[in-house]
């Protein structure tokens, strides 16, 4: 039995076999609480020939260097969210240069859409949930250990960060 209540009628939700999976359904009105991953936009930004990374202040991966990223809000497209997050987290206006990758994992409740980008204005300044912002030359991106504790999201996000920053890990990149 679920501890959540139906958003339609307030009845306690129960699990039922629907579409070959256990899903929360209201026994009174039949409402199904579909669990879909939330979209996150990520910007792999080049600024003055260097990679922009923020030091994450909040989970997941608090204390790790990562590209600016955040949830896509209602009323904006993924590219608009990527540009907004860059502005909020590192103070830069950016132009998107193309898709870097789309990342999902079955046991993680987000889907990341990562773009390559370059700065068009502003100056690097930590904001929003960034403790710090820094610029890294090719071949100088910090090697961060895989999290040994934490959630599946922490371990998965660490792999995403390794993937999107891979072109910056070698001096020839």
Structural contact between residues 56 and 35, judged by C-beta atoms closer than 8 angstroms:
no
Instruction: Convert the pLDDT of each residue in 101-122 to its tens digit.
Output: 999 999 899 999 999 999 999 9
Which of the pair, 42 or 19, is modelled with greater confidence?
42
Res. 173: pLDDT tops 70 = no
Q: Looking at 73, 76, 80, 132, which residue is catalytic?
A: 132
Q: What is the pTM of this model?
A: 0.87
Identify the CA nearest to 47 among candidates 78, 112, 93: 93
Distance linking the first and last C-alpha atoms of the chain: 52
Cβ of 46: how many Cβ atoms within 10 Å? 17
- As given in the structure block, the two tokens for residue 142 are 């910090």
> 76-110: per-residue pLDDT in tens?
999 999 999 999 999 999 999 999 999 999 989 99
Angle at CA of residue 107, ends 102 and 109, nearest 5°: 60
Average pLDDT of the residues of the chain: 94
Confidence at 150, pLDDT banded by 50, 70, 90: confident
Does residue 132 carry a catalytic annotation? yes
Is residue 116 within 8 A of residue 94, CB to CB? The reply is no
């Amino acid at each position: 039995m679920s501890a959540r209540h139906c958003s339609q009628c307030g009845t306690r939700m129960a699990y039922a076999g629907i579409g070959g999976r256990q899903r929360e359904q209201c026994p009174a009105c039949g409402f199904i609480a579909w669990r879909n991953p939330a979209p996150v936009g990520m910007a792999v930004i080049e600024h003055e020939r260097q990679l922009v990374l923020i030091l994450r202040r909040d989970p997941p991966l608090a204390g790790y260097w990562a590209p600016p990223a955040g949830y896509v809000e209602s009323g904006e497209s993924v590219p608009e969210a990527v540009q907004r997050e860059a502005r909020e987290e590192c103070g830069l206006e950016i132009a998107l240069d193309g898709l870097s990758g789309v990342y999902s994992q079955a046991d993680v409740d987000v889907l990341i859409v990562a773009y390559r980008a370059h700065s068009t204005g502003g100056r690097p300044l930590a904001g929003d949930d960034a403790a710090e912002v820094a610029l890294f030359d090719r071949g100088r991106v910090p090697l961060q250990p895989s999290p040994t504790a934490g959630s599946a999201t922490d371990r998965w996000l660490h792999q995403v960060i390794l993937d999107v920053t891979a072109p910056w890990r070698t001096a020839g990149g």
